[in-house]
């Protein structure tokens, strides 16, 4: 058993399995087995792979190191087939079996047997490769491939749905704009066309806003504030905003409170309102008969981390388990078929869930059944409630909040303008639109089409002692962009207000404008009232700076 003689190879000894031999440098295990299945050679790699040394394996049956079910009959049968073929080397098939380590653990191997004759006796050289990592990598590749295929399918569905969601309102906008050009329209027909264009434009804007919100959240740059706010006021604003939409569909929108509700909590009221508007708006959109309930309650009020919960319950169609499973996946709708009756980019729930997470809570689907509606739950952290009054009769105590509007609180900027405004904008249509809005409010507007002309006009007006009260600076313009123009003006000591005007609406875009020297930021598409308030505020400030009140002297 210590050595085995071959006329062709000479004598093989135990030392041939030592690191000094050629076999010691192979990464795969190499073994030599005689006709009876006894191991006659055991390489260094085999010792590492199986945990048995050469001394412990030589002379033992091959089945003792391979899994027991791979019995002696298998290789004895293989040798018998070889003997029937006559002399000479033959290479058998590569097979995959389970091998057995010394500690008793099984692992997958790839076994390649090359049959030869030594001293007229059939034997086999076995090369064994551990394919554990190969199987793991193969499984990971399979999962990656499945994920890529799923992502590709989701992308295809998203592109198809987004094409529909964008083209549908664009068709209405362009179509009704064409109708407005007709000269024989009645006043009612014109107003109907304008309402249609406005409604479809707002739908497009909601899609863009959801995409931007999701991008900001996933990039970790979403602006989240923490302030004292009235949850009753937030609920009242949601009710005021969506009551008309519900009534237009013949639905009831019911506001309910269960138990006492804090008079104030610490959270971001804008984001909380956005979440509730999204969920209640979805419920209204998908409900044909019945109504929608918004239920508010304080959960775990006596613990250190109380939550305010909002349940949105509808009498809509409900969902299957498969539809519910993909609800919070971005760009996914419960119904992705081309026959779906409700629009949407499939971003609202994904955005709402991430915003709720940022507020220390979550959004989840509590229950749903096909044909029996759905219940969604929003939970947000209230912040400390020490000393906060709990309202036992929220509806009565918060009656005043029910008439609250969505106007920006504390913004008393006038809607009438009297100052001189420089508008730097390269788009002819936007030039006409923005100039029209400002001039109708009473402002004197000078329009230039690039940043260089804006710098020249601003400095010329200052030199003539008639500086512009406000510059509205588009940030993307030819020849010189708004960033460079603003920086150039600030470098020469220009102190009049400059408001960035741009279609870029991410938080980092706002900061980039402020870093360039802008005093404020307005995003496109413009909202007339908001723009007039914003410009009016800075116009008043510029007028006050130019005409300070005299100081009374004793």
Does the pLDDT value for residue 527 go beyond 70? yes
User: Which of 21-35, 38-52, 64-78, 181-195 is least confident?
Assistant: 64-78
CATH value at residue 210: 1.10.287.130
Which band of pLDDT confidence, cut at 50, 70 and 90, is reported for residue 84? very low
Residue 513, pLDDT > 50, answer: yes
On whether the CB atoms of residues 92 and 79 are closer than 8 A, the answer is no
Are 229 and 269 spatial neighbours (Cβ–Cβ below 8 Å)? yes
In a domain, 507, yes or no: yes
Over its C-alpha atoms, the chain yields an Rg (Å, rounded) of: 38
**Residue length of the chain:** 554
CB atoms within 10 A of CB 166: 15
Confidence tier at 154 by pLDDT (50, 70, 90): low
CB 467 within 8 A of CB 498: no
Structural domains counted in the chain: 4
Looking at residue 345, which CATH number applies to its domain?
3.30.565.10
**Is there a single domain that holds both residue 275 and residue 385?**
yes
Let me know whether 542 and 479 are in one domain.
yes
- Residue 24 pLDDT > 70: no
Q: Report whether pLDDT(17) > 60.
A: no
**Quick one: what percent of the chain has pLDDT higher than 70?**
73
Which of the residue ranges 116-125, 207-216, 356-365, 367-376 would you say has the lowest mean pLDDT? 207-216
Clarify whether residues 286 and 313 are in a common domain.
yes
Contacts of 381 (CB under 8 A, 6+ apart): 267, 305, 306, 307, 359, 360, 361
Among 20-24, 389-393, 404-408, 461-465, the minimum mean pLDDT is found in 404-408
Q: Residues with Cβ < 8 Å from 216, sequence gap 6 or more?
A: 222, 223, 506, 507
Residue 365 in this model has a pLDDT that exceeds 80: yes
* Average pLDDT rounded to a whole number, residues 495-509: 79
Nearest to 15 by CA among 46, 55, 68, 52: 55
Residues 248 and 327 in one domain: yes
* Structural domain span for residue 212: 146-219
pLDDT tens sequence across 257-282: 998 889 889 998 888 988 998 899 88
- In-domain check, residue 121: yes
pLDDT in tens, 87-116: 334 455 677 777 888 888 888 888 787 777
Look-up of token digits 């302030």: 227
Residue 69 has pLDDT above 80, yes or no: no
Tokens representing 511?
């900061």
pLDDT of residue 336: 45
Is residue 328 very low, low, confident or very high in pLDDT (cuts 50, 70, 90)?
confident
List CB contacts of 426: < 8 A, sequence separation 6 or more. Answer: 449, 450, 474, 476, 477, 478
What was the pLDDT predicted at 423?
95
- Kindly give, in sequence order, each residue whose CB lies less than 8 Å from that of residue 506, ignoring residues fewer than 6 positions away: 212, 215, 216, 221
Between 395 and 8, the higher pLDDT residue: 395
Q: Are residues 353 and 291 in the same domain?
A: yes
Supply the pLDDT for residue 508: 67
HEC profile for 30-45? EEEEECCCEEEEECHH
Among candidate residues 219, 249, 264, the one where a domain is terminated: 219
pTM (two decimals): 0.50
CA dist 548 and 295 (Å) reads 53
pLDDT at 339: 31
The answer to whether residue 251 sits within a structural domain is: yes
Say yes or no: 35 and 173 in one domain: no
Q: Which of 141-155, 314-328, 356-370, 448-462 reaches the highest mean pLDDT? A: 448-462
Find tokens 């001293």 and name the residue: 119
One domain, residues 379 and 269: yes
Q: List the one residue out of 408, 262, 288 whose CA is nearest residue 341.
A: 288
Is residue 188 domain-resident?
A: yes
Please check whether residues 211 and 343 belong to one and the same domain.
no
Pick from 229, 195, 241: which is nearest to 404 by CA? 241
Average pLDDT, the chain: 77
The average pLDDT across 320-344 equals: 60
Question: Minimum mean pLDDT among 37-51, 207-221, 406-420: which range?
Answer: 406-420
- Residue after which a domain boundary falls, among 188, 219, 250: 219
For residue 172, give the nearest of 127, 208, 133, 203 by alpha carbon. Answer: 203
User: Could you tell me if 503 and 521 are in contact, meaning their C-beta atoms sit under 8 angstroms apart?
Assistant: no
Residues 444 and 330 in one domain: no
**Percent of the chain, pLDDT > 90?**
20
164, 286: one domain: no
Please tell me the predicted confidence (pLDDT) of residue 410: 42
Classify burial at 73, counting beta carbons within 10 Å of its beta carbon; exposed 0-12, middle 13-18, buried 19 or more.
exposed
- 240 with 351, same domain: the answer is yes
Give the H/E segment covering residue 166. Answer: helix 132-180
49-53, 146-150, 160-164, 483-487: range with lowest mean pLDDT: 160-164
Return the pLDDT at 457: 96
Nearest alpha-carbon partner for 486 in 478, 495, 140, 69: 495
Top pLDDT among 41 and 135 is at: 41
pLDDT at site 20: 41
Average pLDDT for 478-483: 92
238 within a domain of the structure (yes/no): yes
Token pair for residue 451?
A: 């940043």
Which of 56-65, 71-80, 313-322 shows the lowest per-residue confidence on average (mean pLDDT)?
71-80
Which tokens in the block code for residue 523?
């995003």
Predicted confidence (pLDDT) per residue in 367-420, tens digit: 888 888 899 999 999 888 888 888 877 666 656 444 443 343 444 444 788 889
Instruction: Give the separation between CA 21 and CA 406, rounded to whole angstroms.
Output: 84
Taking phi first (over 0 means left), then psi (-120 to 50 degrees means alpha), and beta for anything else, what does residue 204 get?
alpha
pLDDT given for residue 71 in this prediction: 43
In a domain, residue 551? The reply is no
């Amino acid at each position: 058993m210590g050595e085995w003689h071959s006329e062709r190879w000479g004598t093989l000894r135990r030392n041939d399995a030592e690191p000094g031999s050629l076999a010691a440098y192979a990464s795969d295990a190499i073994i030599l087995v005689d006709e009876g299945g006894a191991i006659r050679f055991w390489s260094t790699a085999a010792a590492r792979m199986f945990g048995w040394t050469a001394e412990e394996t030589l002379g033992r049956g091959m089945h003792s190191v391979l899994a027991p079910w791979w019995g002696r009959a298998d290789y004895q049968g293989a040798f018998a087939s070889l003997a029937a073929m006559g002399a000479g080397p033959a290479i058998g098939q590569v097979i995959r079996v389970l091998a057995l380590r010394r500690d008793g653990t099984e692992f997958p191997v790839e076994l390649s047997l090359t049959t030869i004759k030594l001293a007229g006796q059939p034997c086999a050289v076995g090369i064994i490769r551990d394919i554990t990592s190969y199987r793991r990598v193969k499984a990971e590749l399979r999962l990656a491939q499945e994920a890529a295929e799923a992502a590709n399918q989701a992308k295809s569905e998203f592109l198809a749905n987004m094409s529909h969601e964008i083209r549908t309102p664009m068709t209405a906008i362009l179509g009704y704009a064409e109708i407005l050009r007709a000269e024989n329209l009645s006043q009612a027909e014109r107003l109907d066309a304008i309402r249609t264009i406005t409604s479809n434009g707002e739908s497009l804007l909601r899609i863009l806003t959801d995409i931007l919100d999701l991008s900001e959240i996933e990039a970790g740059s979403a602006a989240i504030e923490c302030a004292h706010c009235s949850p009753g006021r937030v609920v009242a604003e949601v009710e005021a905003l969506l009551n008309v939409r519900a009534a237009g569909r013949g639905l009831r929108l019911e506001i309910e409170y269960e138990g006492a509700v804090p008079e104030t909590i610490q959270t971001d009221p804008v984001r909380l309102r956005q979440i509730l508007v999204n969920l209640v708006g979805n419920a209204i959109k998908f409900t044909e008969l019945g109504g929608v309930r918004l239920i508010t309650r304080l959960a775990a009020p006596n613990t250190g981390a109380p939550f305010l919960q909002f349940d949105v319950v509808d009498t809509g169609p409900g969902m299957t388990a498969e539809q519910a499973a993909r609800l919070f996946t971005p760009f996914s709708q419960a119904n992705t078929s081309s026959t779906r009756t409700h629009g949407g980019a499939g971003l609202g729930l994904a955005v709402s869930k991430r915003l709720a997470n940022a507020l220390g809570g979550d959004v989840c689907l509590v229950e749903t059944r096909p044909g029996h509606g759905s219940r969604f739950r929003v939970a947000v952290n209230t912040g400390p409630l020490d000393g906060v009054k709990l309202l036992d009769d929220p509806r009565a105590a918060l009656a005043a909040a029910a008439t609250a509007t969505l106007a920006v609180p504390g913004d008393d900027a006038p809607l009438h303008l009297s100052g001189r405004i420089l508008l730097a904008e390269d788009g002819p249509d936007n030039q006409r639109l923005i100039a029209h809005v400002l001039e109708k409010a009473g402002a004197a507007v000078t329009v230039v089409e690039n940043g260089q002309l804006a710098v020249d006009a601003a400095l010329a007006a200052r030199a003539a002692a008639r500086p512009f009260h406000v510059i509205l600076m588009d940030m993307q313009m030819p020849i010189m962009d708004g960033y460079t123009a603003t920086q150039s003006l600030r470098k020469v000591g220009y102190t009049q207000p400059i408001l960035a005007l741009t279609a870029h609406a991410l938080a980092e875009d706002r900061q980039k404008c402020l870093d360039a020297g802008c005093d404020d930021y307005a995003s496109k598409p413009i909202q007339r009232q908001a723009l007039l308030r914003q410009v009016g505020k800075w116009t008043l400030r510029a007028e006050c700076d130019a005409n300070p009140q005299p100081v009374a002297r004793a």
